[in-house]
Amino acid sequence: MSTVGIIANPAAGKDIRRLVAHGRVVSNQEKANILRRVFAGVVSTGADRILVMPDHSGLARPAAADVEGQIKVEYVEMGVADHQGASTRAAQAMAEQGVDCIVTLGGDGTNRVVAKGAGEVPLVPISTGTNNVFPANTEGTLAGMAAGALATGVLTRDEACRRSKRIDIYVNGERRDDALVDAAVSTQMFVGARAVWDTKSLHSMFLTRAEPASIGLSSIGSRIMPIAIDDENGLYIRFTGKPGKNATTVRAPIAPGMISDVDIQDWKVMTPGEKIEINLQPGTVALDGEREVELLPDQKVYAVLNSDGPWVVDVPTTMTLLATR
């Protein structure tokens, strides 16, 4: 049965960066409208089923009503999603039930937790978050058509997708967590509001990609060495915390409407499988813009660039291929 999964994060685009920067607010009404367009796109491809993660806002209900009688719409059997772990569980359940593709609505953080459970299932990420390096500003109709084409087998994964990288964080030899775009080491001691916006607190950073047209911490790396999603290597940066004679200063858009001068002490290309120690205690590691890992005394912590990140559907390439068939 050809199936497209839907994971929409109702909390995406609503964190503290609306107060400290000028991040956009994507309302639940707009997310519901995006899903209506996604469902229409999926139906047009002749897919058999849409499998949805339930959420407390009922984002998919209007879309499901639109396509009633045209396609089977089901919900993952789980509690209503009210925290990020639910997105991981939903993605894992979808993978176990044989979905062919998962459409996500959210930012870098949403896609990070979805990728944990999705395994080899390709993602079609639609940007509705704050930092949107991993997800693109894709029109919902096209996203649905691309997902449906993959689900129905009109296009193969190798034709339609690119494989991304990730940064794995190890604590005392065990993999603790990972990031799809950036892992930023901060001198801030507590997780707190999670989001990172003060560059003066940055100690170091690991990047899977650094694209000049992106906004977020990864844009700092793009001022040194641009790196694309499918480039083999990543980037490691050490910050000084203050200007000095050996520092390189770059100006980068680290959040919507927030452009900062950042002082860089050193940097290097990071190769797949390379281990780089994180020598800061106490502190925290922010994964894709949100502080998740606390650095405590007597811990041995290091980061590794991993080439086996999630598969991502390239929507423009997919639509070009569909136009020729």
Q: Are residues 180 and 275 in the same domain?
A: yes
Q: How far apart are CA 231 and CA 94, in angstroms?
A: 29
Residue among 92, 304, 278 nearest 177 (CA): 304
Is the domain of 23 the same as that of 110?
Answer: yes
Please report the pLDDT score of residue 11 as a whole number: 72
Q: For residues 73 and 180, is the Cβ–Cβ distance under 8 A?
A: no
- The pLDDT, as a whole number, for residue 46 is 97
Instruction: Tell me the residue range of the domain where 273 lies.
Output: 166-306
Distance CA 289, CA 107 (A): 10
pLDDT in tens, the chain (325 residues): 999 999 998 876 545 544 455 566 778 999 999 999 999 999 999 999 999 999 988 999 999 999 999 999 999 998 775 666 899 999 999 999 999 999 999 989 899 999 999 999 999 999 987 657 899 889 999 999 999 999 999 999 999 999 999 999 999 999 999 999 999 999 987 655 556 667 888 999 999 999 998 888 999 999 999 999 889 999 999 998 666 667 899 999 988 888 999 999 999 999 999 999 999 989 999 999 888 899 999 899 999 999 999 999 999 999 999 998 8
The total of structural domains in the chain comes to: 2
157 with 16, same domain: the answer is yes
230: CATH: 2.60.200
Q: Say yes or no: 183 and 43 in one domain.
A: no
Check whether residue 58 and residue 195 sit in a common domain: no
Quick count: other Cβ atoms within 10 Å of Cβ 61?
Answer: 13
Q: DSSP state, 256?
A: T
SS3 214: coil
Q: What CATH number does the domain containing 43 carry? A: 3.40.50
7-32 burial by CB neighbour count: b if 16+ within 10 A, else e? bbbbbbbbbebeeebebeebebeebb
- pLDDT for the residue 18: 44
Dist CA 295 CA 287 (whole Å): 13
> pLDDT at position 12, please?
63
Cα gap 16→319, rounded to integer Å:
36
Same domain, 291 and 314: no
Task: Indicate whether 33 and 153 sit together in one domain.
Answer: yes
Q: Where are the alpha helices (DSSP H) in the chain?
A: 17-20, 28-44, 61-66, 84-96, 108-118, 140-151, 157-160, 218-222, 315-323
The DSSP symbol for 79 reads P
Task: Tell me how crowded residue 325 is: count the other CB atoms within 10 A of its CB.
Answer: 7
Q: Are strands 123-127 and 101-106 parallel, antiparallel or unpaired?
A: parallel
Residues 73 and 211 in one domain: no
Assess whether 175 and 214 both reside in one domain.
yes
User: What's the pLDDT score for residue 131?
Assistant: 58
Name the strand (E) or helix (H) holding 306. Answer: strand 301-306
Q: Verify that 159 and 176 share a domain, yes or no.
A: no
> CA 9 → CA 26, 239, 300, distances in Å?
11, 33, 33
Neighbour tally for 249: CB within 10 Å:
12
Same structural domain for residues 158 and 243?
no
Distance CA 166, CA 180 (A): 5
Contacts of 292 (CB under 8 A, 6+ apart): 177, 191, 194, 284, 285, 286
Q: How much is the pLDDT for 192?
A: 53
Q: What is the pTM of this model?
A: 0.90
Do residue 160 and residue 170 come from a single domain? no
